[in-house]
Structure 1
Amino acid sequence: MAPPDPTLTVLPAAIQEIIVVSISDLHTIPLSEVHIPYGDILIVAGDLSEGRPAQLMQRLSELLALPHALKVVIGGNHDRALDPKCDARDAAIYNDLYERQQCRAAFREARESGIIYLEDESTHVTIAGRTFKVFGSPKSLARSTNTAFGYSEDDAFSLWDMIPAGVDILVTHGPPAVYLSDDKNGCDGLLNALWRVRPMLHVFGHVHASYGTTKLSYDDMQVSEAQNLRRLSEARNRRKPQEAESQGRYIPPHLRCKMFGGSAAATSHQVSSDFPAGAPVVEVPVLVQGQTRLINAAVKTPGTPRGAIVTKILH
Structure 2
Amino acid sequence: MTKWADTGGNWKLHSSFWFRIVFIADGRSGTSSPPKGPEHLRFVCLSDTHGQHRELSSRLPPGDVLLHGGDFSNDGSLEEVMDFAAWLRSLPYRHKVLIAGNHELTFDQSYGGDRVKDSTAANSVRSAFLKSFNSSHDGITYLEDEELVICGVRIYGSPWQPEFLDWAFNMPRGAIREKWKAIPSNVDVLLVHGPPLGRGDALLPSLKRRGCMDLLFEVQDRIRPQFCVFGHIHEGAGVTFDGTTHFVNASSMNEHYQCIHAPLVFDIAIKQDGLQDT
Same fold (TM over 0.5): yes
After superposition, the C-alpha distances for 1:43-86 in whole angstroms (9 at most, x for unaligned) are 00000101212211110110111111011100000011111223
The DSSP-based 3-state class of the residue aligned with 1:307 is coil
Aligned mate of 1:138, from 120, 143, 159: 159
Please state if 1:53 is matched with 2:73: no
Whole-Å Cα distance in 2 between the matches of residues 64 and 81 of structure 1? 21
1:82/1:103 contact within 8 Å kept: no
1:56/1:103 contact within 8 Å kept: no
Whole-Å Cα distance in 2 between the matches of residues 60 and 194 of structure 1? 30
Change beyond 3 A, Cα 1:208–1:181:
same
Whole-Å Cα distance in 2 between the matches of residues 142 and 11 of structure 1? 40
TM value normalised by structure 1:
0.66
Aligned length: 230
After superposition, the C-alpha distances for 1:136-156 in whole angstroms (9 at most, x for unaligned) are 001111144x42111111313
Whole-Å Cα distance in 1 between the matches of residues 159 and 84 of structure 2? 16
The amino acid that maps onto 1:48 is: F
- 1:119 deviates by 0.3
- 1:314 deviates by 4.4
Q: Which runs of 5+ in 2 are unaligned?
A: 1-24, 26-31, 203-207, 271-278
Please state if 1:29 is matched with 2:49: no
Q: Which runs of 5+ in 1 are unaligned?
A: 218-290
Who wins on radius of gyration, i.e. which is larger?
A: 1
2:188/2:227 contact within 8 Å kept: yes
Whole-Å Cα distance in 1 between the matches of residues 213 and 33 of structure 2? 37
Please state if 1:81 is matched with 2:106: yes
Please state if 1:18 is matched with 2:44: no
Change beyond 3 A, Cα 1:55–1:73:
same
The DSSP-based 3-state class of the residue aligned with 2:97 is strand
Whole-Å Cα distance in 2 between the matches of residues 18 and 174 of structure 1? 24
Alignment of structure 1 residues 1-315 onto 2, 5 Å: 10=35, 13=38, 16-33=39-56, 35-50=59-74, 51-86=76-111, 89=114, 92=117, 96-97=121-122, 99-106=124-131, 109-110=134-135, 112-126=137-151, 131-144=152-165, 146-182=166-202, 183-195=208-220, 196-217=222-243, 291-301=244-254, 302=256, 303-314=258-269
- 1:108 deviates by 7.6
Whole-Å Cα distance in 2 between the matches of residues 154 and 10 of structure 1? 43
- 1:114 deviates by 0.4
Change beyond 3 A, Cα 1:107–1:123:
farther
1:143/1:152 contact within 8 Å kept: no
- 1:210 deviates by 0.5
Whole-Å Cα distance in 1 between the matches of residues 109 and 252 of structure 2? 26
The amino acid that maps onto 1:49 is: S
After superposition, the C-alpha distances for 1:168-222 in whole angstroms (9 at most, x for unaligned) are 11000010001111244200110011121101111000000000011122xxxxx
1:168/1:200 contact within 8 Å kept: yes
Whole-Å Cα distance in 2 between the matches of residues 157 and 97 of structure 1? 27
The amino acid that maps onto 2:145 is: D
Change beyond 3 A, Cα 1:312–1:143:
closer
- 1:297 deviates by 0.3
Change beyond 3 A, Cα 1:66–1:108:
closer
Q: Which moved more, 1:108-117 or 1:134-143?
A: 108-117
The DSSP-based 3-state class of the residue aligned with 2:150 is strand
The amino acid that maps onto 1:305 is: I
Whole-Å Cα distance in 2 between the matches of residues 147 and 25 of structure 1? 14
Whole-Å Cα distance in 2 between the matches of residues 72 and 12 of structure 1? 22
The amino acid that maps onto 1:310 is: V
- 1:32 deviates by 3.5
